Amino acid sequence: MKSYLDSSIKQFEYYKSLGDKTISQLSFEELKKEFAEDSNSVSIIVKHIVGNMLSRWTNFLTEDGEKEWRKRDEEFEDTFRSKEDLIEAWNKGWNCLFEALNPLSIDDLEQVIFIRNQGHTVTETINRQMMHYAYHIGQIVFLGKLVKGKDWQSLSIAKGNSKNYNKDKFSKAKGLRHFTEDL
């Protein structure tokens, strides 16, 4: 179970890095671009993720994950005034998550916590939140790619480069390591 905690933290770090790399490629105007009426921009998705993180991970083991002070509907109103404000909020959310996860031990994994009065083990909560963030970060990356078009810098194996990528991976000895260690 120690490997589960370590792997979960590495996965969260990976998803954060995908968001970081996308945000770094976009101007403030591009972060705010909506493709259709009532669609979400990267900026709005970031605001929602941050609101969720602050609610879920603040006093994680002792309070319901849906805090009374959270205003979820307001997370879908774009209020960032600069790219720096967006990045500051983004990092605040991730810092809250990592400050909650890093001290956990295997003894904590079966503890029950609540989100909207629904009981979850810590393990279930980590899985739930990881998938939620992966879903939204996938949206962020896709929107970034749409905005940048041919100027997009790929965050994964570039088209047509799988053979070279695999050749490099298979040239290394087999070993136990997290896939993000080679990124």
Q: What is the CATH number of the domain that holds 96?
A: 1.20.120.450
Structural domain includes residue 53: yes
Q: Domain residues for 128?
A: 2-157
Which residues have C-beta within 8 Å of that of residue 145, sequence separation ≥ 6? Answer: 152
In tens, the pLDDT along 46-97 reads 999 999 999 999 999 999 999 999 999 999 999 999 999 999 999 999 999 9
Structural domain includes residue 104: yes
Backbone φ/ψ region at 160: left (φ over 0), alpha (ψ -120 to 50), beta: left
- For residue 176, what pLDDT is reported? 82
Which residues have C-beta within 8 Å of that of residue 143, sequence separation ≥ 6? Answer: 33, 35, 41, 42, 45
- Give the Cα-Cα-Cα angle 19, 42, 22 (nearest 5 degrees): 30
Please state the pTM of the whole predicted model: 0.93
Q: Return the number of other C-beta atoms located less than 10 Å from residue 59's C-beta.
A: 11
* DSSP label at residue 26: S
Structural domain includes residue 19: yes
Query: If 0-12 CB within 10 Å is exposed, 13-18 middle and 19+ buried, where does residue 21 land?
Result: middle
| Number of domains making up the chain | 1
In tens, the pLDDT along 145-159 reads 999 999 999 998 888
Structural domain includes residue 108: yes
In tens, the pLDDT along 27-52 reads 999 999 999 988 999 999 999 999 99
